[in-house]
Structure 1
């Protein structure tokens, strides 16, 4: 006769109490995650579209200071302030003339700048207007800036008319900066915008 064996369930070992070290580690991890979320949230807030209006200080042909904030006109690149160009075999201060051209376009009027991106130096990249004039486009159309991610049609018009710096020869502002050990600045195109956007979001203070 077969003997029936009573089934006895296996007893699970009692769970070990969590160590104080593991508890502290979990708390630190949770705080770190919350801190990361707070930083990313703050960066997204800074990347929101901003509009600023007021009187400006013109720093050079593509940079102004508006209400204490430095703003870089997006999509174009003017000769650097100390840069020289050549016309008829004679050098002339095209960087200073580019700044003067922007001053004339503004003509003492209030300027409105709008943008959502920043460059690697923290400047707001923006389109600026004064009295209904798109300053970014106007600088390229008048030949005092080159297309730098935008305004290619305006540059072609200026080149055909031999306006501004196109009346002679000049070094591209980006090349001039590189040869004079100035800060490098990427073109304002979609690829660089994405890179700068990610860098700005993930950057820690």
Structure 2
């Protein structure tokens, strides 16, 4: 009940009037925390999405979004934080800077290469990212699509929600056709679930559902 009341107050109060938020840190992902029962989106940083993959210099893919979250969990989970609100985002989350034991959480995360400076919303951590990139710390040692670009591509139905089910079942004037990664039209093909298009986890599954393989 207290959490509901607090959320209602935050929704109708101007940001400048929000008191500091204090409490134990529960990590949601590398740029999102729960502090004192309030969902916090850390100001001016952007981390890979939980299901986002990156690639090593040898071409090996790994779940860098989950990895970044694990680093933040190990560093900050269970500690006491004091956060100062700067805004409310479109999802109703409180945007804030947070301090744990005298450490700026956003600065620490960016400095260690677990997230990037989100310059669109502030230059607070620009130099932290520059230093991390120069030292190849964390994500800077891998090939990483920017989280913002990843979200935009996924929104167009080009990135699967389940990384294990990457085959695209597309419906066109040529019928129900599935595309596998590496084929000519795979990247440009988007999946619109409302039209009956879907993702498949295997060629066998796609064929059993009535889709045929793309010729190229």
Partner of 2:129: 155
CA contact (8 A) 2:15 2:88 kept: no
The CA distance in 1 between the partners of 2:43 and 2:77, in whole Å, is 20
Which residue does 1:84 correspond to in 2? 53
Match of 2:111 among 141, 150, 155: 141
Give 1 or 2 for the bigger CA radius of gyration. Answer: 1
Q: CA 1:107/1:63 → structure 2, altered by over 3 Å: closer, same or farther?
A: closer
d(CA) in 1 for partners of 2:135, 2:56: 15
Greater fraction of residues in helix = 1
Structure 2 Cα separation of the partners of residues 163 and 58 of structure 1 = 21
**Higher RCO (CA 8 Å, separation ≥ 6 residues):** 1
Aligned residues: 141
Maintained 8 Å contact 1:48/1:116: no
Gaps of 5+ in 2: 1-10, 157-216
3-state secondary structure, aligned to 1:144: coil
Distance 2:14 2:63 in 1: 40
- Which of 83, 89, 92 aligns to 1:113? It is 83
Q: How far apart, in 1, do the equivalents of 2:98 and 2:143 lie?
A: 28
What is the CA–CA distance in structure 1 between the aligned matches of 2:48 and 2:16, rounded to whole Å?
A: 28
Query: 1:171 maps to which residue?
Result: 145
Q: Deviation at 1:67?
A: 2.2
Summarize deviations over 1:8-32 as a string: whole Å, max 9, x none. Answer: xxxxxxxxxxxxxxxxxxxxxxxxx
Question: Aligned partners of 1:45 and 1:96: how far apart in 2?
Answer: 34
Q: 2:38 maps to what in 1?
A: 69
Q: Which secondary structure does the structure 2 equivalent of 1:102 belong to?
A: helix
Cα offset, 1:123, TM superposition: 0.8
Pick the aligned partner of 1:123 from 93, 114, 118.
Answer: 93
Distance change (3 Å), C-alpha of 1:73 and 1:117: same
* Aligned-partner SS, 2:69: helix
CA distance in structure 1 between the aligned counterparts of 2:84 and 2:39, rounded to whole angstroms = 13
Instruction: Describe the superposition over 1:45-98 as per-residue Cα deviations: whole angstroms up to 9, x where unpaired.
Output: 455243111112211000011222111000110111111111121111111111
- Structure 1 residue runs of 5 or longer lacking an equivalent are 1-41, 183-205
* Length-normalised TM-score, structure 1: 0.64
More strand, by proportion: 2
